[in-house]
A and B are shown apart, each in its own frame.
Chain A
């Protein structure tokens, strides 16, 4: 009988000792308030650990408690502390799905007791098992879970106890996990929506904003799951192939900013398979390298313009080192990972010519172009991470502690901007108290969510503390800071997403080895072409495939990366229904190059002799004109959507009155230039008016004019049209009208120069260059 009783006790004990690993919802009833509580517990034998997020009006008591304790039979004891230093102690009884008991909270100037009840969340799995959903993979996973949630909701992450977990390489498992957070009966109350918005206690705080694209994507998924439609094929706008010539025009403009030649257009129209070879050709042009530099400066924001003509090129060189290194790596088919690992940098003679402006010793280069070299000041070389001007542009101070620099490297290498997280820095942290701030970023979960990853990155950069200005620094100062300063400054040893390192060489190696590197550069290569991030399921799915091939098959060759995009359906097809986001607007750089290529005209001015020549320290006089569309001097660069890296850091592709008028002015000047120059040159050497006499009379030369217009359309827009097409007819009618227009003719100011034919040709060119097909493609 005694044995029987002992067995009964043992059985009862084991029955009571149910695994507590689960998510919980509950409340803490205190005098004057009942606070909401959400918890996630993990049990391993008798040990229990986890988190409890308390949403209380009492700011000191609120927050996330990291708890630990033991369960013995039906008794659970947990203790923990929140970021405000409030200690929680809880003795509870476990009964079926509920854990209930008195809790006490004590801390500096604070004491409270109450009844804490947690109820195990009963998770009703969706009726439809997880499925291969392109919407989930591309949108939910690709645009929300991976870039945001996966920072914590992974094995080993700070939210590993939570029900929701991202499993790398297993979208079905992730989907299954995420779907457990969906309330099918009340979709709007789903935890997957409310937690990242901060509307339910969330260890990571608010991670997305209401109404944001990320929020909408999650809402859409919740709706699909709640209505059992998540496995249906999500319709996207059907794509149709782009005609060969049109495709080549896009490719040439995207990669170079130029139209294809007539021979190239003929080639693809004869054989569409010629497209791939032409893409290869375009990828090996200097114009492509300029587009790559533009692209990466959009992320780095290092370029600076000097308004002194004589110093203009030198300043451009000094601040362009990082971009020239990128271009060199691409041009020489080096693995693109060398942007973080190269044991060299690049320089040209101009870059090395002025030690007052570039004070760091380097091995001298010979010859005119940018070439590999090394610094001789003892700095470790790690690709872009060891270039000089970046650290002047992105300076730091005692409170920032290199975070700004680290964030910029995160943007460049991983396309992750820590400042995109909508965190509220206001509450309960004395920004004036450095210790309080340090305590917050090292203990408070909503701060740690970012600082656990950002600060270790910053810790690599403390040796660069003394590098703040190229002008006020000694030749050995670049890498002279204390590499151990992290021990006091942010208390986080150097690491990239938890993998430790020592100096910037490790930083570069780890940044480029991380999967985010390939994902990011793949996305950025897309942006080179589309001027935006991938959005549609086709684009996101293709991005994943391209990134995968880039690492396994292409040896991180950047040209190959771009080429994969160029050969994909995402690029070679377009939405059947018009989509404004699919239509590009030329950047100021591409527009200047395009107009120059088509007409020979560059809107420019003569250089100024603006440094005292008698001063031996002055730069030599500039001999080349200064282009006006691609600098800030007259504002056209920024009007046309360009950036200057200082006050304008984001490109614009919009169409507004200012843009339209700049195009008109450019068209008028370019047209006049063509008329003047082409007619002075023999046929075959002209830009646009081959075969034109300038005296064509539309009443007798209509057929010739039609042929000329056909050629112009071909050259200017890349389109092939028939001589009797309505397009040609419209332009011919314009020519006719202009030919007959005798008003305001003359040689004086405010009059129209030229013969009837010259006036007509000029006016026709003005109109054709004002076409939207010059600005848009």
Chain B
């Protein structure tokens, strides 16, 4: 009878079979930590999605509040809101809308990070439906078989990692790369300690379901059964199952580096930094600020911007303070992308709110980002034709579509965008 098993379990046998960390941790062979990150040229991506459709005229997409010919209402009139009006500010090559009274965190952010940030204005989302636009902004398509740029970046830069794309929260579209993307619930650490079972009397005590050696035997047995099942009805997905388990094995070894979702930017930076350095993942998505869908009382946007930029400031500070795998800091090896599903109408409606508008902006910070503002909207807050290399208005250029920004982000992270979005011209003006 065929058997895969050696009569004596040796280190070589265990390694050949790719046994779990449980085994390795129990054995004095010093194989405690392994990294699968591309240490030659690490490029991490953090995608943040602001939920609801942000009013970009309040920060990114500058329109002079004093210009009567410009059809954009930046603020709810002071006579109604009691709040001082916004004003145009410039820091480090970024021109933005400032209001030190209602959203001081914006000023602080750009003071600290303008030199590493790019703002892309005038992006056409083609839709004003929340669900549809989220998919369009992240993938460029309405096609459910398409992946979003965070997942594609993961495939590009970390396909062999345990969890190349880590979804902490928010929307994500894995498309053909579903095996590379996984959610991490708050208690996934429980699952990663899969061999521990609570005591029957005192649940604070945990026993092992099997010994470390027993775990090796279990894995051998399952592999043997897999070969027997290979011709059977489930054969088409056994490889996926095996791959998932192998990645899970790697994830277990890195359990200490499992990130925790947090609304505190500094904590998240530390947590993600650990995950990046350990080789667990290369791309993370989260949606930590919402409430931008202000159909009434647009002053509610202020608190959202405060929250967003306070968080982002802390987060970037946290990344910058950590050493990179090769570069001076982790921020030097990370690109942060902040987006929302669409913008808001240029003028206030009857409830002093703003409705959905199919033009939005994006903020990019970090690795390979060329600082400055690119792209532009007109007096109706609709995108104008721009040169895709410079990002400056150009009648011979073209409108920036979400497909172009997705392709551009892929280019930024080192991919050949045409591999993923055939025939789409990448918008590259924000790339250093």
B1, B207, B287, B349: the one contacting A752 at CB < 8 Å is: B207
B132 near A767: Cβ-Cβ < 8 Å: no
B241 near A750: Cβ-Cβ < 8 Å: no
B188 near A661: Cβ-Cβ < 8 Å: yes
Q: Is B196 an interface residue (CB 8 A)?
A: yes
B174, B186, B199, B234: the one contacting A583 at CB < 8 Å is: B234
B241 near A775: Cβ-Cβ < 8 Å: yes
Q: Mark B111-137, 1 if CB is under 8 A from A, else 0.
A: 000000000000010111101100000
Q: Is B425 an interface residue (CB 8 A)?
A: no
Are A669 and B197 CB-contacts (below 8 A) given A647-B171, A752-B211?
yes
Q: Is A582 an interface residue (CB 8 A)?
A: yes
Are A656 and B126 CB-contacts (below 8 A) given A661-B188, A759-B214?
no
Q: Mark A736-747, 1 if CB is under 8 A from B, else 0.
A: 011001011100
Q: Mark B312-345, 1 if CB is under 8 A from A, else 0.
A: 0000000000000000000000000000000001
B380 near A773: Cβ-Cβ < 8 Å: no
A657 near B186: Cβ-Cβ < 8 Å: no
A398, A426, A639: the one contacting B126 at CB < 8 Å is: A426
Are A656 and B179 CB-contacts (below 8 A) given A664-B194, A672-B197, A776-B237?
yes
From residue 713 to 755 of chain A, which have CB atoms closer than 8 A to chain B? 726-727, 729-731, 733-734, 737-738, 741, 743-745, 748-753
B222 near A246: Cβ-Cβ < 8 Å: no
Q: Which of B243-251, B298-306, B385-393, B406-414 contacts A (4 or more CB under 8 A)?
A: B243-251
Task: Report A171 CB to chain B, min CB distance, Å.
Answer: 27
Give A749 to B211 CA distance when docked, in angstroms.
12
B129, B181, B221: the one contacting A656 at CB < 8 Å is: B181
The interface size of chain B toward A, counting residues with CB under 8 Å, comes to 96
A209, A213, A635, A738: the one contacting B183 at CB < 8 Å is: A635
Give A211 to B421 CA distance when docked, in angstroms.
11
Are A743 and B143 CB-contacts (below 8 A) given A582-B236, A668-B197?
no
Q: Which residues of B contact A (CB under 8 A)?
A: 1-3, 5, 26, 71, 124, 126-129, 131-132, 141-143, 145, 162-163, 169-171, 174, 178-188, 190-200, 205-214, 217-218, 220-222, 224-226, 228-229, 233-238, 240-241, 243-245, 247-248, 250-252, 287, 295, 345-347, 349-351, 355-359, 380, 382
B247 near A657: Cβ-Cβ < 8 Å: yes
B358 near A661: Cβ-Cβ < 8 Å: no
Give A580 to B241 CA distance when docked, in angstroms.
11
A398 near B349: Cβ-Cβ < 8 Å: yes
Least CB separation from B73: chain A residue: A432
B193 near A647: Cβ-Cβ < 8 Å: no
Q: Which residues of chain A are near B222, meaning CB under 8 Å? A: 767, 770-771
Q: Is A652 an interface residue (CB 8 A)?
A: yes
Task: Report B292 CB to chain A, min CB distance, Å.
Answer: 15
Give A676 to B198 CA distance when docked, in angstroms.
12
Beyond contacts A399-B295, A657-B182, A763-B218: 4 other A-B pairs, Cβ-Cβ < 8 A, are: A434-B349, A661-B248, A743-B214, A770-B218
Task: Report A315 CB to chain B, min CB distance, Å.
Answer: 20
Q: Which residues of chain A are near B193, meaning CB under 8 Å? A: 665
Least CB separation from A753: chain B residue: B207
B245 near A660: Cβ-Cβ < 8 Å: yes
From residue 626 to 654 of chain A, which have CB atoms closer than 8 A to chain B? 634-636, 638-639, 647, 649, 652, 654
Q: Is A579 an interface residue (CB 8 A)?
A: yes
Task: Report A45 CB to chain B, min CB distance, Å.
Answer: 43
What are 25 A-B pairs at a CB distance below 8 A? Answer: A419-B127, A419-B129, A425-B358, A430-B380, A432-B349, A574-B233, A582-B236, A583-B236, A635-B187, A636-B185, A639-B184, A652-B174, A655-B244, A656-B178, A657-B163, A658-B185, A661-B192, A733-B221, A738-B217, A741-B214, A744-B213, A759-B210, A766-B218, A770-B222, A772-B241
Q: Is A292 an interface residue (CB 8 A)?
A: no
Q: Which residues of chain B are near A773, meaning CB under 8 Å? A: 229, 234
Give A744 to B295 CA distance when docked, in angstroms.
62
Q: Is A271 an interface residue (CB 8 A)?
A: no
B228 near A658: Cβ-Cβ < 8 Å: no
Q: Which residues of chain A are near B187, meaning CB under 8 Å? A: 634-636
Task: Report B280 CB to chain A, min CB distance, Å.
Answer: 10
Q: Is A303 an interface residue (CB 8 A)?
A: no
Q: Is A578 an interface residue (CB 8 A)?
A: yes
Give A213 to B186 CA distance when docked, in angstroms.
37
Least CB separation from B422: chain A residue: A211
Least CB separation from A659: chain B residue: B244
Q: Which residues of chain A are near B143, meaning CB under 8 Å? A: 209, 211-212
Give A737 to B212 CA distance when docked, in angstroms.
13
Q: Mark A584-598, 1 if CB is under 8 A from B, else 0.
A: 010000000000000
Least CB separation from A729: chain B residue: B1
A578 near B240: Cβ-Cβ < 8 Å: no
Q: Which residues of chain B are near A647, meaning CB under 8 Å? A: 169-171, 287
A665 near B26: Cβ-Cβ < 8 Å: no
B185 near A578: Cβ-Cβ < 8 Å: no
Q: Is A431 an interface residue (CB 8 A)?
A: yes
B211 near A762: Cβ-Cβ < 8 Å: no
Q: Which residues of chain A are near B196, meaning CB under 8 Å? A: 668
Least CB separation from A246: chain B residue: B233
Give A667 to B356 CA distance when docked, in angstroms.
48
Task: Report B107 CB to chain A, min CB distance, Å.
Answer: 28
Q: Determine which residue in A242, A423, A431 has the highest number of CB atoms from chain B within 10 A of its CB, and name it.
A: A431
Give A426 to B382 CA distance when docked, in angstroms.
8
Give A748 to B250 CA distance when docked, in angstroms.
27
Give A744 to B185 CA distance when docked, in angstroms.
30
B208 near A579: Cβ-Cβ < 8 Å: no
B214 near A763: Cβ-Cβ < 8 Å: yes
B191 near A665: Cβ-Cβ < 8 Å: yes
Give A212 to B146 CA distance when docked, in angstroms.
10
Give A744 to B209 CA distance when docked, in angstroms.
11
Q: Is A701 an interface residue (CB 8 A)?
A: no
Give A647 to B261 CA distance when docked, in angstroms.
15
Give A749 to B126 CA distance when docked, in angstroms.
58
Give A242 to B233 CA distance when docked, in angstroms.
9
A658 near B163: Cβ-Cβ < 8 Å: yes
Give A743 to B194 CA distance when docked, in angstroms.
18
Least CB separation from B217: chain A residue: A737
From residue 442 to 472 of chain A, which have CB atoms closer than 8 A to chain B? none
Q: Mark A667-679, 1 if CB is under 8 A from B, else 0.
A: 1110110001000
A730 near B349: Cβ-Cβ < 8 Å: no
B358 near A431: Cβ-Cβ < 8 Å: yes
A654 near B206: Cβ-Cβ < 8 Å: no
Task: Report B43 CB to chain A, min CB distance, Å.
Answer: 21
Give A604 to B196 CA distance when docked, in angstroms.
16
Q: Is A424 an interface residue (CB 8 A)?
A: yes
Q: Is A691 an interface residue (CB 8 A)?
A: no
Least CB separation from A242: chain B residue: B233
Least CB separation from B186: chain A residue: A635
Least CB separation from B226: chain A residue: A772
Q: Determine which residue in A420, A664, A751 has the highest number of CB atoms from chain B within 10 A of its CB, and name it.
A: A664
Q: Which residues of chain A are near B221, meaning CB under 8 Å? A: 730-731, 733-734, 767
Task: Report A712 CB to chain B, min CB distance, Å.
Answer: 13
Q: Determine which residue in A422, A654, A726 has the highest number of CB atoms from chain B within 10 A of its CB, and name it.
A: A654
Q: Which residues of chain B are near A424, meaning CB under 8 Å? A: 126-127
Q: Which residues of chain B are near A770, meaning CB under 8 Å? A: 218, 222
Q: Is A397 an interface residue (CB 8 A)?
A: yes
Q: Which residues of chain B are near A676, meaning CB under 8 Å? A: 200
Q: Which residues of chain A are near B241, meaning CB under 8 Å? A: 655, 660, 772, 775-776
B141 near A209: Cβ-Cβ < 8 Å: yes
Q: Is A662 an interface residue (CB 8 A)?
A: yes
B208 near A744: Cβ-Cβ < 8 Å: yes
Give A655 to B222 CA distance when docked, in angstroms.
17
Are A431 and B218 CB-contacts (below 8 A) given A419-B131, A668-B195, A766-B210?
no
Are A580 and B237 CB-contacts (below 8 A) given A658-B188, A661-B188, A668-B195?
yes
Q: Determine which residue in A656, A657, A659, A744 has the highest number of CB atoms from chain B within 10 A of its CB, and name it.
A: A657
Q: Which residues of chain A are near B238, meaning CB under 8 Å? A: 772
Task: Report A183 CB to chain B, min CB distance, Å.
Answer: 22
Q: Mark A184-225, 1 if CB is under 8 A from B, else 0.
A: 000000000000000000000000010111000000000000
